[in-house]
Amino acid sequence: MWERLLTHVRRLAARGYDRRMGRRDDLRDQDRGGIVIRGPHLVLRPLRPSEIEAEYQAMVDADPMTIAEVPDESAFKSRLRRSGRLEDGTLDLAIDLAGESIGRIQTFVPPRRRLRPGVFTIGIGLRADARRKGHGREALALLTDWLFEHAAADRVEAPTDPANVAMRTVFDRVGWTLVGTFEEFGRDWVMYAITRAEWHARRTVR
């Protein structure tokens, strides 16, 4: 009995298991050279190959209010295979809770708008059962902090549908500001943003 228990413990240790966080596969993600950002409850990490198909299906099945359009499958999957690396303004990370992906957060370059140097645009999506639990707020705050601290960001912004009350509430709670409206992909959007000066002021009073 004790030998079986010891063997089980050794297997868990080999997989990087931690009782508080579950499987610690994020350590292996970091070992591969990808960006890993840890917060109180979440880890933002590179997507694993086994998660890419589910991410594409999540885009196909997404509420049209939450995405601009369904991406080209080949290009989308190719981009996710490079996840964990910030390249030309683009970064894709899984939102990991206790070793399992509950969504994805990214920076992207809008196809119809040019971004100034130092400006990053964020997109985020959570699984339905992971919403309204504070995970979106934590993930957004983690990536925002990382961009200002490590990617020389001057401004971080994100568009959303005017009717997306949940996302707009998240932006308000992390200190972003509604900065305008615009039309793209044949529909209206609202833009939220935070500048380096605003981010620094919030960090000072925390």
pLDDT, averaged per 10 consecutive residues of the chain (206 residues), comes to 40 35 44 84 97 93 81 93 95 97 96 89 94 96 98 97 95 96 92 97 79
Question: How many domains does the chain contain in total?
Answer: 1
Q: What is the pLDDT of residue 206?
A: 63
Residue 7 lies in a domain: no
- Is 87 inside a domain boundary? yes
* Domain that includes residue 91, residue range: 35-205
Residue 30 included in any domain: no
CATH number of the domain residue 153 falls in? 3.40.630.30
In a domain, 20, yes or no: no
pLDDT for the residue 79 = 93
pLDDT score for 64: 78
Confidence (pLDDT) at 33:
67
Decide if 54 is inside a domain: yes
Q: Is residue 26 part of a domain?
A: no
Note whether residue 9 is domain-resident.
no
Note the residue count of the chain.
206
Distinct helix (H) and strand (E) counts, the chain: 7, 10
Query: How many other CB atoms are found less than 10 A from the CB of residue 151?
Result: 16
Q: For residue 107, is it within any domain?
A: yes
Q: What is the pLDDT of residue 114?
A: 84
3-state secondary structure 174-186: CCCEEEEEEEECC
Q: What is the predicted pLDDT for the residue at 108?
A: 95
- Please state the separation of Cα 206 from the chain's center in Å: 23
For 24, residues 6+ apart whose C-beta sits below 8 A from its C-beta are 15, 16, 17, 18, 99
Side chain identity at 150, as an amino acid letter? H
